[in-house]
Structure formats: C-alpha cells, structure tokens
Amino acid sequence: MRKLRVAILISGRGSNMQALIGAAQAAGYPAEIVLVISNRPDAAGLALAEKAGVPTRIVDHKAYPSREEFDAALEEALVAARPDVVAFAGFMRILTTPFIERLRGKAVNIHPSLLPLYKGLKPQQQALDAGATESGCTVHWVTPGVDEGPIIAQARVPVLPGDTADTLAARILTEEHKLYPRAIAMIARGEASFPD
Ligand code: GAR
C-alpha cells in the first residue's frame, strides 16, 4: 500500500516531529515523513531531522517583508515535496487565511489542551489558572480560526496537586508523542478525514 506522504512544520524543539519520524521508521507504519520545514533557522528540531535522514528546509519568516510573501515561499517549498498531509508540530506562525483555505483537509495541528478549552498561548497555564482537574492534548484539522478546526483525536492527563505549567506540560507532552503518530496513522488508513 502507498504510504501517506507527510511534511512537518516546526519552529523549535521538534519533539513531536521526532515522535512522528520515529513512528514512520517502523516498517508497518502507513505514513512517511518526506520533509521538515522550519520558519526559524535556529530550531533545534532541524538537527534531529537531519540526523534521522529526513530532508529539511528553512523558510525564515524574517526574510520576507509580508505574511503573504512568507506564505508563498512556504507553499512553494511544500508543493515541491508533494505531501498528502502537512503536520504542524510546534509551528508557531499564524498563516494567512487564503493559504490555510488552500490547505483545507490537508493540514493538521497538535495543541497541548483538550480543545475547545485553552486555545492559543500557554494552554497549560490556562488550565492551571482555571483550576482544571484534567487536561490533555488534541490533534485537529487546521482551519482559519487558531486552534479551532475539527478534532481528530485527544488524550487526557490528570492535573495533579502542586503542578506547575512545566510539570503539566511534560505530562501532556508524553501523551502528545503517542497521540500524534496515532492520529496520522488514522488519516493514512482512512479512519479520519476532514468532515464534509
Ligand atoms: C508542543 O507541546 C505542542 O503541542 C505545542 O508546542 C509544543 C512543541 O513542542 N504547540 C502549540 O502550542 C501550538 N498551538 P515540540 O517542538 O517539542 O514538538
């Protein structure tokens, strides 16, 4: 069976990217990672991808005078890799609506909360501030509203007494590393698709 071609967008550490690369190294996994793109030249994840033998590209947002021009360069880099799916993995740039519309049904994101709760920045701190007793992570289709697209899969973790944003983030991250490969496999097997 043909494997799903996945391009990954990162901005930093790249631990979710690494989890996807690791999953795709298993023979029976239904997806392959064809490209990693970072909008930051100093993203630590770039070296991890290179070490794993995955092609990398840098599309530095600071090199483009406008969001439209950055998006055009990103789109050109993506198209060349012919991905079936574009996986945002700690990708911290807001893209223009027309570009996101062109990615409709093709782009997915992971967010460290149980969406629709705690969208946007610092979701772990948001959970603590709200007095939540559980939180988690969500893989969802990307649509123009930030962290708003249809949900593909979620995993839950408890919020424990004494948690800080860092301890909660670490507990959630462990689940992210399992959830993202599972969600991509669901898409590859046709078990998840963008709703009509
Ligand atoms: C992850 O926790 C991811 O869910 C989050 O950033 C972290 C990236 O870590 N993404 C967002 O908050 C997007 N809204 P990583 O670079 O080690 O994968």
pLDDT by residue (tens digit) across 21-30? 999 999 999 9
Report how far residue 30's alpha carbon sits from residue 73's, in angstroms, rounded to the nearest whole number: 29
Pocket flag, ligand 1, residue 14 (CB < 6 Å): yes
Atom of ligand 1 nearest to the CA of 173: 2
Domain chopping of the chain, boundaries: 4-188
Residue 196 pLDDT grade (very low, low, confident, very high; cuts 50, 70, 90): confident
Stated pTM of the model: 0.97
Tell me the Ramachandran region of residue 18: left when phi exceeds 0, alpha when psi lies from -120 to 50, beta otherwise: alpha
Q: Quick check: is 111 catalytic?
A: yes
Helical axes 165-188 vs 15-24, angle rounded to 10°: 30
For the structural domain made of 4-188, what CATH number should be given? 3.40.50.170
Pocket flag, ligand 1, residue 163 (CB < 6 Å): no
Take atom 2 of ligand 1 and give the residue whose Cα is closest: 112
pLDDT by residue (tens digit) across 35-72? 999 999 999 999 999 999 999 999 999 999 999 999 99
